[in-house]
Amino acid sequence: MATFLYKLGRLAFRRRHFVALIWVALLTLAGVGAASAPAAGNSSFSIPGTEAQKAFDLLEQRFPGMSADGATARVVFKAPDGEKMTDAANKATVEKTVKELSDGSEVVSVADPYKGNAVSKDGTIAYASVSYKVSGMELEDSSREALETAADEAREAGLTVEVGGDALQTTPETGATEIIGIAIAAVVLVITFGSLLAAGLPLLTAIVGVGIGVSTIAALASALDLGSTTSTLASMIGLAVGIDYALFIVSRYRGELAEGRTREDAAGRAVGTAGSAVVFAGLTVVIALVGLSVVNIPMLTKMGVAAAGTVVIAVLIALTMIPALLGYAGRRVRPAGEKSKLLGGGRAKSAEKAAKPNMGTRWASFVVRRPVAVLLLGVIGLGAAAIPATSLELGLPDDGSQPTATTQRKAYDLLSDGFGPGFNGPLMIVVDAKGSDDPQAAFTEVGDEIKGLKDVVTVTPAAPNKAGDTATITVIPDSKPSSASTEDLVHAIRDKGTEIKAGTDAEVLVTGSTAMNIDVSQKLNDALIPYLILVVGLAFLLLIVVFRSILVPLKAALGFLLSVMAALGAVVAVFQWGWLSGLLGVEETGPVMSMMPIFMVGVVFGLAMDYEVFLVTRMREAYVHGEKPAQAVVTGFRHGARVVTAAAVIMMAVFAGFIGSSESMIKMIGFGLAVAVFFDAFVVRMAIVPAVLALLGKRAWWLPKWLDRALPNVDVEGEGLRTSSDADDDRELVRA
């Protein structure tokens, strides 16, 4: 592979006009496709295989026009102090608001509080329920604006009015955080390379890659039902890996120049060696992202595949566009160790300063001398950080986890005060009595049985459909939606349903947003172990091919598990226990988002293997070229530590920018990924990895002979380049 990529790099360097034209054409084509494609809606959300989804599907069949999965809103009214919602003036204001809300084109129905017993016992709080034809993510902006306008008019009449429900659900805007991440990345790259031009190349290629990927997603969004949220993960991951991959190749190019090679040969060798690592690092990220399909949540699968496509584009750009741009840059990209004149370059260095080992060399030498102490300190530290993960509680966020300043949170609190905490998470019971001899008796029995369960406050009478074979029953729990008590109640109703079916042949299904959240959490939890086995297993096999070793890939996988568990522990400590919550702006602690563990595993595993491949391949290269194992570790750090550190800092900056989001879910993702990258890059890859390799010595690179013969020789370390490029050494030096 190294030889092929070496030739590809030299070809791209020589034919830079052609290569640049191809990528500009692809970017233009993707942009035109995105501009001319139908506007992307929001992808439909379904959870195949869950009871809640089965109930939704049944409601669509038996209650046509009901829009069971449509958005809902609760407009909550509170009377001024000393007044009641039943007072004439307040009642008139509410009825006017209800009439205005009923005029919306996407509105199915609006329940009048005075006709539906939706006034609290003390008469101070009332609510109007609004049902829509489409889900909250698909709702038009005009419908949301009409909802907010009606609330504002009621406020002007003197009432306190807040709006809750998923009708106000919107896709969080992340543009500002991406800009912050790019700005920090630019500063880190300038410090790393000592050159504005060299620093600009990774940024330019990363932006081009993300532009092509996101534009392609937008062009295909309508046809493939991708939705506007699909591009979020693609842009975040594409930007991060795009900068990283280009960073490694440009860094290797400058290192080859420092060894006295011609610019064309240096470009070829950079792509042949660092480019080989980029290919395999990209493959691990693709495996992790595509592997999200095992969860069997269509939206998550689409997000993973779209992000994987953007990673593939980032790899191809790094292998071709980077050497082409290096050809354009010519002498303006200087050898490693030289800075541009603008940044203080051109001054002669003293021999003592030039010979001084860099920070990576000094650190690796220390680790090689004290491997046991470093290993124990790293493992014990990560183990301590992981302790909170043992009390991990999973759930999905609701309005109760919103910031206290939002109208959704205020509506949630008002409903809890007026009607009880469980009122914010009603359960919908669907009774399918089509196979029952007496459907009405079955409906009555279901209601009576549920009334006898613990943690139940209210059970509404069964509401059958026109055919009389299916009915819905609403159950109000005594506890809030995200509590363990409500989850226990859902399981208790389902257990009771099994008994009822045995006696009446009527099937009892529990659904609603609360039950759906519980089912999603369970589905994600059940998929975590299979996902880990698939992703880590495939990557383990891939790394055996790359490193031609059994113990190095095993060490890489175990180190990754350590860093992920430590990061999960940090997430639990902050978002569940409340440690440092004030500093990070966490207003409400509670269960960790159920998607967080599997999301962190997928994203962090791919990025962790990036650092593993880039750092250890340089060690493997030194070992193959004749250095002793301990010296190979030091050599790998001398050439790779600075670049891996820069890549990790860039990645942390990109993710940490999301901590400032007002959305608790986005804040949690940003914090979790930033902490995970810190643990993996600086504790696992920079400390535990060299310590383990130093202890293993030659055994680290052991591979059974039969397996060595069976595996393909991909030559990531570029051993073949020692002979294949010799014949090209007399080529003309390309000057630009």
Gyration radius of the chain over CA positions: 30
Three-class secondary structure assignment of 572-613: HHHHHCCCCHHHHCCCCCCCEECCHHHHHHHHHHHHHHHHHH
> Which are the contacts of 351, defined by CB distance < 8 A and separation ≥ 6?
none
Q: What is the pLDDT of residue 320?
A: 93
Two tokens, residue 546:
């790359």
Inter-residue contact 237 to 603 (CB < 8 Å): yes
pLDDT at residue 178, rounded to an integer: 57
In whole angstroms, what is the distance from residue 203 CA to residue 314 CA? 12
What pLDDT sits at residue 275? Answer: 84
d(CA 249, CA 638): 16
Decide: helix, strand or coil at residue 107: strand
CB atoms within 10 A of CB 531: 22
H or E element, residue 246: helix 230-258
Helix (H) or strand (E) holding 621: helix 596-624
**pTM higher than 0.75 for the full model?**
yes
pLDDT at 229: 61
The dihedral built from the CA positions of residue 308, 602, 558 and 622, taken in this order, carries a sign that is positive
Q: SS3 sequence, 140-173?
A: CHHHHHHHHHHHHHHHHCCCEEEEECHHHCCCCC
For 692-706, write each residue's pLDDT tens digit.
999 988 888 888 888
The DSSP secondary-structure symbol of 74 reads E
Contact 397, 169 (CB under 8 A): no
CA–CA distance, 129 with 112 (Å, rounded to integer): 8
State the 10-residue block means of pLDDT for the chain, 736 residues long: 84 91 93 76 65 84 69 86 88 88 81 82 87 72 84 88 77 56 76 75 86 85 67 77 85 84 87 84 85 82 86 93 89 69 47 62 89 93 92 74 77 87 86 85 88 86 85 87 84 89 86 84 84 84 84 86 90 86 70 80 77 81 82 85 83 76 72 89 90 89 85 67 49 39
